[in-house]
A = this chain, B = another copy of it.
Amino acid sequence: VRGMTRPWLIGLDWGTSSLRATLIDGAGCVIKEDARPWGITHLPPGGFRAAYDAVTAAWRAAWPGLPCLAAGMVGSRQGWVEAPYCDAPAGVEALASHLAAVAEVGLFIVPGIVLSGARSDVMRGEETQVIGALVNVDRGCMVLPGSHSKWVDVEAGRIIDFRTFMTGEVFSALRDHTILGAFSVPEVPDQNSFDRGVRTAHDTAEGIASLLFSARALVLTDRLPASGALEYLSGLLIGDELRSAPEGVQPLLIGEASLCRRYQRAMRLCGIDATIATPDVTAAGLWRIACCAGLVATDRTTFDAP
């Protein structure tokens, strides 16, 4: 502990397939982390409690009373304790005032956000990343690529609208369970095929339905290398997602670095100028929500000289 910045919060990013615990300092930055494959559908023996103890016990013993805040599917109906969705628009205040508690261990959980106007949509976990990315800005479009890509509109620090694209999950399902993957060689980087897929889907006036099979037909007619078929398919799906981008948008990309670069490249092909957010926005978001909820002291002088 000596020589280390004092920790103020334990943050948990607890999703469907993984659990990442972070020890967070008084500036919302990560001091230490511990990642396990213990998503809520892949819990170890002993369930939520055992997973929680495994990643937090040493830190709680070293710093008794350290508050702990989690975000993600751990707060879903299938999670440890349900943290019911907040209605959009919602910002840090709304989230902080609707935390759920796992009373037995003193853990708090950030709620997700629901849209229930003309369209229905939900997010859980991404709201915390967005809040963490709102450091120097309080408005704009944030794009969080992944299994379920989210396009999020922020105004005055609040999430006012969002849209889910199942791009990553659809890609995996098509690759692993349709003819499009059956004859493809293992994925190899092939930027040409990726770019071609992006442009093809982005430029079409129709839906992507009639384009998917081209990933197979182009190979059969020797117009696409078999080694590029999956990159082309990935490009088609991302290009189709980008067709919904609002005119003139300049998104902030949030998420895993290589995936963000992939989206940034695709966006550039479609005339969209995107920047990539700094990493660790989840920890920053948990920190901001914890401060707003009064889980940690928010007087800056306290952080510098605890």
Contacts and interface: CB of A to CB of B under 8 A. Distances in A.
A121 B221 CA distance: 8
A209 B114 contact: no
Contacts of A116: 221, 223
A164 interface: yes
A209 B121 contact: no
Contacts of A220: 114, 120, 122
Interface string A221-255: 10100000000000001001101100000000000
A115 to B, nearest CB: 8
Nearest to A219: B120
A35 interface: no
A176 B291 CA distance: 42
A221 B221 CA distance: 46
A210 B173 contact: no
Given A173-B178, A178-B173, A167 B209 contact: yes
Nearest to A202: B207
Nearest to A212: B166
A171 to B, nearest CB: 10
B172 A177 contact: yes
Nearest to A112: B220
A81 interface: no
Contact of A174 (B170, B180, B207, B243): B170
A185 to B, nearest CB: 15
A138 interface: no
A103 B209 CA distance: 40
Interface string A104-132: 00000000001110011110000000000
Contacts of A213: 121, 148, 164-166
> What 10 A-B pairs have minimum CB-CB distances, sorted nearest first?
A164-B213, A173-B173, A120-B217, A173-B177, A120-B221, A207-B240, A165-B209, A121-B217, A206-B244, A166-B212
25 contacts: A115-B217, A120-B214, A121-B214, A122-B217, A164-B210, A165-B209, A166-B179, A166-B212, A169-B178, A170-B178, A170-B209, A172-B177, A173-B173, A177-B177, A207-B207, A207-B240, A207-B241, A207-B243, A207-B244, A208-B208, A209-B237, A209-B240, A209-B244, A210-B241, A210-B244
